[in-house]
Amino acid sequence: MKEHEYLTQEKFDEFTKELAELKGKKRKEVAESLEYAKSLGDLSENAEYHEARDNQATIEDRIAKLEGLLKTAKIVSGNHSGTVTVGSTVTVEKDGKKFVYNIVGSEESDVISNKISMKSPFGQSILGKKKGESFTFKAPNGELSYKVVEVK
């Protein structure tokens, strides 16, 4: 049994839209490319045919991944229980500096946007913590300690 993939409603909708486009418009475009490439003759030395086949494989792989992801998706939103969970926005403090992060599922993680995966060392260490609690985790450059300042 595959574990749940945690997604925000926004990301779930984004993946649903992408899947619909891949299954509709993109599949049709690839089929047309394949038909055109076949019409050019000898398939063994036909670069356009091989490129179209590669594109088809890429699209079909993405469709399969999205279908599996959406099938196991669990929609999350920040809770207000005061405990860090997937979907929480947390403010943490380290050495007098404050940082704000969103704890998200692995498919949504984006360090540049401060979206931290629940499966990362930071994410695993902060889950279940409450305001005022400290936590430590191992990072590539050593052990880091933070204090939870706020949970939304």
Residue range 64-83, pLDDT digits in tens: 999 999 999 999 876 668 89
Asked if 70 and 16 count as a contact pair (C-beta separation under 8 A), the reply is yes
| Domain containing residue 91: CATH number | 3.10.50.30
Q: Does one domain contain both 46 and 102?
A: no
Partners of 91 in the beta sheet? 100, 150
Q: Does one domain contain both 38 and 98?
A: no
Give the residue from 48, 75, 102 where a domain finishes. 75
pLDDT value for 79? 66
Tell me the pLDDT band of 45, cut-offs 50, 70 and 90: confident
Give me the number of domains the chain comprises: 2
User: Considering only CA atoms, which of 103, 100, 101 is closest in space to residue 77?
Assistant: 103
Q: How far apart are CA 149 and CA 91, in angstroms?
A: 5
Task: Residue 20: give the domain boundaries.
Answer: 5-75
Q: In what helix (H) or strand (E) does residue 34 lie, and over which residues does it extend?
A: helix 27-39
CA-based R_g, the chain, Å: 22
**pTM (two decimals):** 0.81
**Position with higher pLDDT, 25 vs 45:** 25
Q: How far apart are CA 42 and CA 1, in angstroms?
A: 45
Q: Does one domain contain both 69 and 82?
A: no
pLDDT value for 60? 98
The structure tokens listed for 32 are 């047309």
| Domain containing residue 27: CATH number | 1.10.287.180
Q: Does one domain contain both 53 and 94?
A: no
Asked if 7 and 108 count as a contact pair (C-beta separation under 8 A), the reply is yes
Q: Does one domain contain both 115 and 144?
A: yes
- Give the DSSP letter string of 44-68: TT-HHHHHHHHHHHHHHHHHHHHHH
Residue owning tokens 């005022």? 132
Q: Does one domain contain both 11 and 42?
A: yes
